[in-house]
Amino acid sequence: MSAYSFVLQNIFLPCHNLVRGRHYVGRRRFLEESQWWSPDELEAFQWREATALLRHAWKCVPYYRKKFEQAGLRPQDIRGWADWRRLPTLTREEINANRKELCAEGYADKLSPHATGGSSGVPTRFYITELSYDWRTAATQRAYGWTGCTLGERAVYLWGAPIGELRLLQALKTKAYEFVQRQLIFNTFSQDDQLWVRIHERTLRYKPRLIVGYVSSLLQFARFLKQTGRELPGVKAVIAAAEPVYTAAREEIEAGLHAPLFNTYGAREFKSIAAECELRDGLHINSENILLETSDPRPEAVSELLITDLHNYGMPFIRYRIGDLGALDPSPCACGRGLPRIRSIEGRVLDMLRTADGRIIPGEFFPHLLKDIPEVRAYQVEQKSLDHIIVSAVLFAPLSDKSAALLDREIKKVCGPELKIELKPVAQIPRLASGKQRVTVGLDHHAGKN
Ligand SMILES: [Zn+2]
């Protein structure tokens, strides 16, 4: 461990947590130990946390009380996992329609707002508590640690940028956080060779040990490095996020960056859900914080995933239908961790878009943008030609001038000023045969390439 990592982990963060009354350090220490518990011990812990959450939801969250009553269930009726599976599930649409009633009584001053553009095209706005934030950050950092890189080692992110203009204080806080954590973040929403040249030059000087990015951004960067004969020495690991990683993409990224790729599965609603350990043989579920079930009672069958966040008491998510499919792997991992594993996550279908001047826009840009347009209930982005994009949207209300201007400005900023953007209000977004909604449809899709 470098001197900087040691000071950050053992002096700076514990002092910060003590002064600010935060729980990251405590949760991280706990998670470092609990990952080695046996599967039975972990399950017993999950059961205690899940039933405590259920009692809390019944007592303090009006929406759940009503919902459980309608289902004829009370917390004392839930005596085992078979009973748990009788609890009703929660959808994004329900959250959007009942946001206030889903917040726990007495938590109004403990909630901070968050939003997601929705991997299935339905933006969702929700609240989390500080304690939940600390749990999820600790779990995310533990998973990053499985790559062999530790907190405080330099990391480069091929990521997006915040939408709209940040207020100065917010921007300064973000910069200070990135500086302390030693993170260098690049906005990869608008990709061309100049961007990759700039990222390569800065990254060479920065000398990161870890590169984190959207799969599509990592792939384009790796291709650029290979095609131009450039190298990035010293990178120890690559973390892929936000999209499924297929074998061909994994091989290309590893060949371009000369480092092993670690797949992760997460969502804005929960941060880290699962991640690969050093053996990279399925993704370990972060099961001390997340209860992940399959809708099919046979866990090894591919079916819809349901997620319960065990520690967000401010706005509990119980059996939330995240919109992805997956299957659980009950066999133990050779690494010795007791955390169960998930395989074959299917979902998050995001095509990339192209512009007339040769730029590539990762599909992730649109959920990222549309989460900030409050009138949008569901959407699909379709590229008709190099200079024409249609945003089909089911709207709660007509777009305000502010939202229309934000949408226009942010899309032009990323896709260029020549692009014609047509907002088309629709009653419904068509679904794929799998039942999933396709969030972005690129030109390659029309050409039958995917
Ligand atoms: Zn493992």
Task: Write out the chain's pLDDT in tens, 450 residues.
Answer: 788 888 888 888 898 888 888 999 999 999 999 999 999 999 999 999 999 999 999 999 999 999 999 999 999 999 999 999 999 999 988 998 999 999 999 998 899 998 887 666 788 889 999 999 999 999 999 999 999 998 889 999 998 877 777 677 778 888 887 877 788 999 988 888 999 999 999 999 999 999 999 988 999 899 999 999 999 999 999 999 877 788 888 999 999 999 999 999 998 899 999 999 999 999 999 999 999 999 988 888 888 899 999 999 999 999 999 888 889 998 999 999 999 999 877 766 677 888 888 888 888 888 888 888 889 888 888 888 888 889 899 898 999 999 989 988 888 888 888 888 888 999 888 766 555 567 888 877 655 443
CA of 411 to the centre of ligand 1 (A): 41
Is 409 part of a structural domain of the chain?
yes
CA of 234 to the centre of ligand 1 (A): 25
Residue type, 208: P
> What global pTM score does this model have?
0.85
CA of 52 to the centre of ligand 1 (A): 28
Residue-number span of the structural domain to which 416 is assigned: 353-446
Burial class (CB in 10 A: 0-12, 13-18, 19+), 310: buried
> What is the model's pLDDT at position 93?
87
CA of 343 to the centre of ligand 1 (A): 12
> What is the model's pLDDT at position 65?
96
**Residue 137, SS3 per DSSP:** helix
The strand pair at 360-361 and 353-354 is best described as antiparallel
> What is the model's pLDDT at position 172?
81
Characterise 257 by phi-psi region: left (phi > 0), alpha (psi -120 to 50), beta (else): alpha
CA of 236 to the centre of ligand 1 (A): 18
Is 428 part of a structural domain of the chain?
yes
Is 439 part of a structural domain of the chain?
yes
Is 381 part of a structural domain of the chain?
yes
**Residue 3, SS3 per DSSP:** helix
CA of 99 to the centre of ligand 1 (A): 37
Structure tokens at 283: 């993704």
Is 339 part of a structural domain of the chain?
no
Q: How many domains does the chain have?
A: 1
Is 366 part of a structural domain of the chain?
yes
Question: How many Å separate Cα 189 from the centre of its chain?
Answer: 16
Q: Are 445 and 349 in contact (CB under 8 A)?
A: no
Q: Beta strands of 95-233 (E only): which ranges?
A: 111-116, 124-129, 155-159, 183-187, 210-214
Is 278 part of a structural domain of the chain?
no
Main-chain phi, psi angles of 227, to 5 degrees: -65, -30
The strand pair at 261-267 and 237-241 is best described as parallel
**CATH code (residue 439):** 3.30.300.30
CA of 350 to the centre of ligand 1 (A): 28
Main-chain phi, psi angles of 99, to 5 degrees: -55, -45
Characterise 142 by phi-psi region: left (phi > 0), alpha (psi -120 to 50), beta (else): alpha
- Would you give the DSSP letter of residue 12? I
> What is the model's pLDDT at position 63?
97
CA of 358 to the centre of ligand 1 (A): 41
